[in-house]
Amino acid sequence: MIRPDLSDEVAGALAAGRPVVALESTIVSHGLPWPRNLELAQEVAGEVRAGGAVPATVAVIDGRLRAGLDAAALERLARGAGVAKLSRADLAVCMAEGRTGATTVAATMIAAARAGIDVFATGGIGGVHRGAETSFDVSADLRELAQSPVTVVASGAKAILDLPKTLEVLETLGVPVLAVGQDAFPAFWARDSGLPAPLRMDDPAAIARAHLARGALGLAGGQLVANPIPAEAEIPLAELAPLIARAEAEVAAEGVTGKAVTPALLDRLRALTEGRTLDANAALVRANARLGAAIAQEIAAARAGGAKAPAPPL
């Protein structure tokens, strides 16, 4: 089985049983404009380190799947020229062709599982797109959560999606959805989607125990930890909803389809909110990195059967 090429730091941490947090790379290549994308990647890695864990950004560089990128590789992704957006369907093709690509949630989970990394922190997962009953547009992220044994920390699913159907599919696939600090399922930039979360766990140690219990039971897949955006950075859903509807209409009128839809909607919403969604995105990803580091610490401590180093407050 192919496993990712690990940086020396990531390889050393995994060999020693120290906590590692995987990070995706599409937020670097496709999620934010240059140079804010590179700055945020560095900030998120810093949050993981401040939480006592080692960051492992995942990408395909010249055909090699890697976990843990040096500064040159990260900047190459951030500049974006010729960088593919990779999910489960195109990951192997990109590698076979010797190309460079940034990993989505699904592809990052695959790499993390192959590398032996338990925790992955991101912004928001993909899900069921609006109109999926006719388009069948459902993100591969959902099925990957049911297959790869990785705990994914995200601020729910992206607010542009059909959130009720996304939760229904996750339930059908047997994926635990754990809200943190509240009973409501968050909606990316908004703390409350208006939908109840199926489960709630507020303690990183309890989340770590649930992760380990799934493995002990032999259950396939991971779990989604739905961490709401910090209150000070929130854009409430009541404000977002009409803007999302406008962005959807404009993108549809332009004939955008497939993988291009999500980045086009995010770009349009960035303009409609005068950059507030960009700031909110940065805030929630940093918060998820902090929580991911805390969970990774607890998993490492449980496996070692000893005390962990104290983590800073979330």
Q: How many CB atoms lie within 10 A of CB 272?
A: 17
Question: For strand 54-61 and strand 64-67, is the pairing parallel, antiparallel, or unpaired?
Answer: antiparallel
Q: What angle do CA 118, 106, 265 make, to 5 degrees?
A: 130
Catalytic residue among 24, 234, 248, 298: 24
Dist CA 72 CA 125 (whole Å): 27
**C-alpha distances in angstroms, 90 versus 60, 63, 101, 117?**
11, 12, 10, 22
Q: Are 252 and 290 in contact (CB under 8 A)?
A: no
Q: Which of 47, 158, 298, 308 is catalytic?
A: 158
For residues 3 and 115, the answer to whether their CB atoms sit within 8 Å is yes
- Maximum CA pair distance of the chain? 58
Q: Is 241 exposed, middle or buried (0-12, 13-18, 19+ CB in 10 A)?
A: middle
Is-catalytic flag, 158? yes
DSSP state of 7: P
Indicate which residues carry an active-site annotation: 24, 158
